[in-house]
Structure 1
Amino acid sequence: MKNVDLEHPSVIPVEHWHALENGLIQCDLCPRECKLHEGQRGFCFVRGRKNDQMWLTSYGRSSGFCIDPIEKKPLNHFLPGSAVLSFGTAGCNLACKFCQNWDMSKARDMDRLLDQADPEALALAAKKHQCASVAYTYNDPVIFYEYAIDTAKACRAHGIKNVAVTAGYISEAPRKEFFEWMDAANIDLKAFNERFYEKLTGAKLQPVLDTIEYVANETDCWLELTTLLIPGENDSPSEIEAMSQWIIQHCGDEVPLHFTAYHPDYRMMDNPPTPKSTLEMARNIAMKAGLKYVYTGNVIHADGQATYCPNCQQKVIGRQYYEIYDWHLDHGKCANCQTPIAGVFEEQPGTWGNKRLPIKLTKE
């Protein structure tokens, strides 16, 4: 573990900040660039200033650990059917009014981080439970950057893959090291309009697009994208068309895109749930635009959960919820026409299925 505050072992000094001439210090981890007085915390709450140094206050502490199917992240083209050890901490650097994990991402009470595990313990737990990967998720791993990277290094040493589930709101310099240690990422492209980002997330769109383009073109990290469609906010056919065209032009036509259904939550309880027809419409638009792999989530939709060969249109992976029931891949190629299917595949899928298994690491 890194050097720590001996009175508070979860508090560690961090990099990616600099002093300003006016006596403030600026956090350089994400585009918010919080400027802090002594004793003040940043927008994310878990990073703050103490003794003229930036500190992370949640190192080695988690809101819980759980073994999930990898498809729940969602990742449909990265080791399908495998088990992934998922965990998060507290806080977030976005302010999404529709947050589906608000009890963790909006947490300001560090006492709710009852589970503890250093990076090596996490790697060993993943190995013990036969997880193919560890996912940094629930809240955004960008804000527990050092804890995520140290854990990723420990996992790599034990042959465990690393998965980031993130909004992609990270600055250019730290972005490079973060994704160097990630084997797969699902980046949340929340909308394709600036008004949505400013109004409903308190952030900006362009830094997210920069991150997506960087991961797609300059790393070996497998990339998938997710857009939660909210009625009346980001679900217009023209916006979905524009977003699909941007993905193709800047990232290629093989990046899987997931459209998921919104349900009223947090500070947007009055918005209606997303109709299944909206998800189907979005999927059709994206596929017509030229994206090869488009999925629907949070609804029962067999076609929207399955993977099809972009050449012969045969189903190569059939899914029911998060469980694989049909498999027609031959060394990562369509068994029917031998067209390569983009992704990271084993010869046979994993068998974890729909199970969700909470685990305790404190005493392991």
Structure 2
Amino acid sequence: MPIDLGKQYLGLSPAHLETVLGKVNVIIHNAWRVDFTWSLDSYEEYYLKSVRELINLSSLSPLQPRVAFVSSVSSAQEWAAVFPDSPVIEATFESYQVSSPLGYGQSKHIAERALAMASVACNIPVTILRLGQVAGPTDPNRVGSKWSTDEWIPSLAAISKVLKLIPDDIPPIDWVPVDLASRAIVELALLGDDGCQELPPLKVFNIVNPRLSDWSTFVAAMHRRLTHDGMEAGVYRQVPLSEWVGALIRADPAMMPDSIAKSSTKILPFFQLLVETAARGVALHPKFETENAVESSKTMQRMTRVDEELICQWLEQWGI
């Protein structure tokens, strides 16, 4: 059924609205633009309004459908600056200071807070799924399965190949392959839907890989692929992220393929934020608690670390 996130009742027709109010018991909201150049105001009229409309729909329905909101770890990007000695909890936050200073993370944080308040004030069932970096598929040979080259990790890999530099101080890898992320989201969103388990009105889960890999795993995969392409791996120097970002800023876009030049412009604010964060002595990426998610999701329980072989398959998909 067609919807419009910026309109009342999501722009549903009267017939479709009647169907939603009478038959739907879970609504998964995963429609959010990822754009690190957008300010918080850019998200207000369309995306944040959609959260308010979902709250309205749930409160109007006699079934009171659970709203499962796919949030982002960006909502807690600055956690380590506020709570340096503890991981990000699987709960809602009292401080806005923990969110990313970029509009994307701020909008996710505000959406979480609005849903939490609605759950308390109106007893609306809410599940917040704080999703980490979604990686490529575990089976890259499946038709249509590819990690989008517009995202920051594929962009970093493509830019590194052009610059002949690879940052060596990125945080450990807690990425979740896309097929496993989708399964975990469904399992956690539908938790208790079978009537076998009674859930509290508000549940929060951190969906990041509970088994970490060191960033050196990615660097090793890059060297392996570049050598495989007939290039000497030693030509590609490992440097601090700050030096890598400086080289990107100084690079001539005319000397880059058009697609890489375009993606580098879009993703640069994110990399600059990482450098500024590190300069303040704050961890670039906080550690996240996953105990509740692991306990409640079979997919999270079985998730394995991202290894070099899998990264090499993704690099091959990106043409690296």
Query: What TM-score, normalized by structure 2, do the two folds share?
Result: 0.29
More helix by share: 2
More strand by share: 1
Larger relative contact order (CA 8 Å, sep ≥ 6): 2
Query: What TM-score, normalized by structure 1, do the two folds share?
Result: 0.26
